[in-house]
Amino acid sequence: MSPLLHLTTPLERRLRDWIVGVLQRDNGVAIEYDAPLGDPGLFGPQSVTWRVHADFPGMMAGGVAALMLQTLHPLALAGVWDHSTFRTDILGRLRRTTAFVAGTTYAPTAEAERLIAMVRGIHRKVRGIAPDGRRYSAMSPPLLTWVHCTEVASFLAGYEFYRGVSLPVAAQDRYFSETARVARALGAKKVPDSRAAMDTYFAAVQADLEFSERSRAVLDVLAAIELPIPFSQVARGLFLGAGATLLPPWAQQQLAFSQVEQLRHRGAALSLRQLSPLLRAALQDGVGARACRRVGISYSALGKLPTA
């Protein structure tokens, strides 16, 4: 065993404890990942989704980018504003979203379907009137498609950027085709299922977006989030900046980031990219690893780049 491993293993363990404390504490969602043996879940170990979602740095930064994007849609934002606890418990909301993505990715089939049914039940109660007088509903297929697209496009961008790779278009197409299954199960329609379709979708939806006072308020809450770990402010700045860097140019322009903010974001992104190998090593016994044991493969298989 190398001296470096002696030095890094305690740090990896400490990092793992901190990350688990941030993501899993009191998230209110208990998910079974270990049984039944052999159950591949919604995607299975050969999927691009298992590989992309196994990358913690890319997923965390991608999740932040998705939240930032979502603040730009007035109707989606109205639902969050009127029905979410984001002002008082934004960390709890992030944990529940993380649990849903992890569960629908890696849990056995019945568990994933249970989570989808649970979220559909929550969505049925989320309806109201936006400030401009339009009615909104979390069951609206276009809004479900918007939320889904912001998430999966950001997750894939995070995977590519923080692993320093560019996936073949065929692998990107597979990823969007696979993950569309969850969006459709939630009630979304016209879900982009390829790289080209996703690009076309975002080009078309920009006419419906705006950066409002509510958008700024949500970003301010996100920027002030308190994490239950040492160096909370440093970690918060790291992931907020790393997420903002993933945003497409048109979104960065709409969010009106200053030049100073953009420089900070790039610095955070470079820092996270340097830290990514250590973070990956610290999380080798997470839910992805449990899913791999359930289906009888090595977790190392998820570290291989998808090719098609």
| CA neighbor of 24 nearest in space, from 82, 123, 79, 103 | 103
pLDDT of residue 23: 63
What count of residues does the chain have?
Answer: 308
Q: H/E element holding 280?
A: helix 259-282
Judged by DSSP in three states, 136 sits in: strand
Q: Which residue has the tokens 């390829």?
A: 194
Could you tell me which residues come within 8 angstroms of residue 195 by beta carbon, excluding any fewer than 6 positions away?
169, 172, 173, 176
- Integer Cα distance of 21 and 11 in angstroms: 15
pLDDT of residue 8: 54
For the record, the structure tokens of 167 come out as 């996936």
List the pLDDT tens digit at each of the 308 positions of the chain.
333 344 456 656 666 665 665 666 555 578 999 999 999 999 999 999 999 999 999 999 999 999 999 999 999 999 999 998 888 878 888 888 999 999 999 999 999 999 999 999 999 999 999 999 999 999 999 999 999 999 999 999 999 999 999 999 999 999 999 999 999 999 999 999 999 999 999 999 999 999 999 999 999 999 988 876 666 788 889 999 999 999 999 999 999 999 999 999 999 999 999 988 888 887 777 899 999 999 999 999 999 988 77
Could you give the angle at the alpha carbon of 168 between the alpha carbons of 263 and 105, nearest 5°?
80
Helix (H), strand (E) counts: the chain? 14, 2
- DSSP assignment of 246-272 equals TS-HHHHHHTT--HHHHHHHHHHHHHH
Q: Which residue has the tokens 């089939």?
A: 109
- Cβ(153)–Cβ(198) under 8 Å? yes
- Cβ(238)–Cβ(272) under 8 Å? yes
Judged by DSSP in three states, 135 sits in: strand
Average pLDDT for the chain:
90
Residue-wise pLDDT tens digits, 178-213? 999 999 999 999 999 999 999 999 999 999 999 999
